[in-house]
Amino acid sequence: MLTQSTIDIVKSTAPLIEQAGPALTAHFYDRMLSHNPELKDIFNLTHQESGSQREALFNAIYGYASNIENIEVLLPVVEKIAQKHTSFNITAEQYQIVGSHLLATIDELMSPGQAVIDAWAEAYGLLATVFITREEEIYQATESQSGGWRGTREFKVIEKIVESEVITSFVFAPVDDNTVVGYKPGQYIGIYLNSDKFDNQEIRQYSLSDAPNGKTYRISVKREDQGIASNHLHSSINVGDSVQLAAPAGDFFLTTEPNTPIALISAGVGITPMMAMLEAIKGTHSAPIHWLHAADNSQRHGFKARLHELTQQTVNLNQYTWYQEKDDEIEHLDGLIDLNQIKADIDWDKTDFYFCGPVVFMQHVAKQLLALGVSEDRIHYECFGPHKVL
């Protein structure tokens, strides 16, 4: 437990951290990656360049300073970060590196005096212990399950399937031919990519896009114009190639009971965790299943044929599609998802809502759900990349 003096000192620095803004975490990352360049093989440098990772860390640091006397408030954030860390295989030793550069950054930018540095060292030590303990629990729980492992494991690509103009699925089977650990629909796996064309190893997390089967994993990846990893997967990873995977992780997953109505809402490649959920519950979910998806057009509509098949086979599945561009190939609504267009079809008081897609899209959906009276405990979402609060 922290002393009251430490709590008071750290909390008093919250306004200084707020004033520094993301410049604080920019200095931190620049310092750490300069002194410890081996960490470039772990951190997503694209998120560094865009500033999204720095913003996410700033929000975490500021949140910790502001709520240090009530760390229970931060536990949902801790769980989200801890899950992500296990897909990077973060170690206790790396927390020491991070701590040393965080304290140095506070000292160099703020010159707050030794008492503040000592208080932050104590506070960071407690937080690091919380993360290390939780992450070790996840590591142990995963490797103790049938088909589980710690670290990375070699898999080979056994299928590569074009799902749309921009989305391709990859199915992986373990090289050792043993079983693979299960997962909760909505979770992701970490993939470790290395190439002579890369300056550093690239690690990415991609949502699993199929129901668990104990034998293989499937991810479905959108080719991004400037995406180092996605372009490498689309252009250079083929059937027969091997990759290293971290075990499934993530705190966004299906929890709805079969007798509760559910709505699965997505845009673009946000369809991937929704597909895992739908494939997992088809035939067993007794309540209505509402499938809402937005795409630019039918050519960019991932899993279109499979969704048509599932709609024909599943009597309680209702599918709604929105396209930005007019398309005569498939029945669809126009423009952005407008929940008022299907207002009479959904029980807004009893349905659980899961959604994934670009942040602007999810903000658009969340705003509509709240306006329709949906309670926050029925709203579940996942951000690709650093987490953002909607």
Q: Phi/psi of residue 246, each to 5°?
A: -90, 155
Q: Taking residues 320-347, report their average pLDDT.
A: 92
Q: Taking residues 256-262, report their average pLDDT.
A: 97
SS (H, E, C) 56-107: HHHHHHHHHHHCCCCHHHHHHHHHHHHHHHHHHCCCHHHHHHHHHHHHHHHH
> Band of the pLDDT at 47, cuts 50, 70, 90?
low
Q: How far apart are CA 133 and CA 141, in angstroms?
A: 12
What architecture is the 152-249 domain classified under in CATH?
Beta Barrel (2.40)
Q: How far apart are CA 96 and CA 100, in angstroms?
A: 6
The answer on whether 205 is annotated among ligand-binding residues is yes
Tell me which of 329 and 90 has the higher pLDDT: 90
- CA distances in angstroms from 314 to 4, 289, 291, listed in the order given: 58, 9, 12
The answer on whether 216 is annotated among ligand-binding residues is no
pLDDT for 115 equals 95
The answer to whether 351 and 290 have CB atoms below 8 angstroms apart is yes
E-only strand ranges, the chain: 152-162, 167-174, 188-193, 202-207, 217-222, 242-249, 262-267, 289-295, 317-323, 333-334, 352-356, 379-382
262-383: CATH class: alpha beta
Say if strands 167-174 and 152-162 run parallel, antiparallel, or are unpaired: antiparallel
The answer for 54, left when phi > 0, alpha when psi is -120 to 50, beta otherwise, is alpha
Position 265 pLDDT exceeds 60: yes
Specify burial of residue 107 (Cβ count, 10 A radius: 0-12, 13-18, 19+). Answer: middle
Write the CB contacts of 16 (distance below 8 Å, at least 6 apart in sequence): 110, 112
Q: How far apart are CA 85 and CA 174, in angstroms?
A: 22
pLDDT for 58 equals 81
End-to-end CA distance of the chain: 32
- What the block records as the tokens of 270 is 């946000």
> Band of the pLDDT at 51, cuts 50, 70, 90?
low
In the chain, ranges of CATH 2.40.30.10 domains:
152-249
- What the block records as the tokens of 118 is 């000592």
Q: Taking residues 113-127, report their average pLDDT.
A: 94
In the chain, ranges of CATH 3.40.50.80 domains:
262-383
Position 130 pLDDT exceeds 80: yes
pLDDT for 53 equals 74
> Band of the pLDDT at 76, cuts 50, 70, 90?
confident
Active site annotation includes 135: yes
| pLDDT per position as a tens digit, 268-309 | 999 999 999 999 999 999 999 999 999 999 999 999 999 999
Position 110 pLDDT exceeds 60: yes
pLDDT for 73 equals 79
pLDDT for 103 equals 95
Strand order in the sheet with 202-207: 202-207, 188-193, 242-249, 152-162, 167-174, 217-222
The answer on whether 234 is annotated among ligand-binding residues is no
> Band of the pLDDT at 390, cuts 50, 70, 90?
low
Q: What is the CA radius of gyration of the chain?
A: 22
The answer on whether 386 is annotated among ligand-binding residues is yes
Q: How far apart are CA 263 and CA 353, in angstroms?
A: 5
| CATH code for the structural domain at 4-144 | 1.10.490.10
Catalytic residue among 29, 95, 183, 192: 95
Active site annotation includes 55: no
Sign of CA dihedral 159, 179, 269, 285: positive
SS (H, E, C) 139-152: HHHHHHCCCCCCCE
The answer on whether 272 is annotated among ligand-binding residues is yes
Catalytic residue among 29, 135, 183, 192: 135
Q: How far apart are CA 57 and CA 25, in angstroms?
A: 7
The answer on whether 270 is annotated among ligand-binding residues is yes
Say if strands 317-323 and 217-222 run parallel, antiparallel, or are unpaired: unpaired
Q: How far apart are CA 227 and CA 233, in angstroms?
A: 10
The answer on whether 273 is annotated among ligand-binding residues is yes
Q: How far apart are CA 361 and CA 369, in angstroms?
A: 12
In the chain, ranges of CATH 1.10.490.10 domains:
4-144
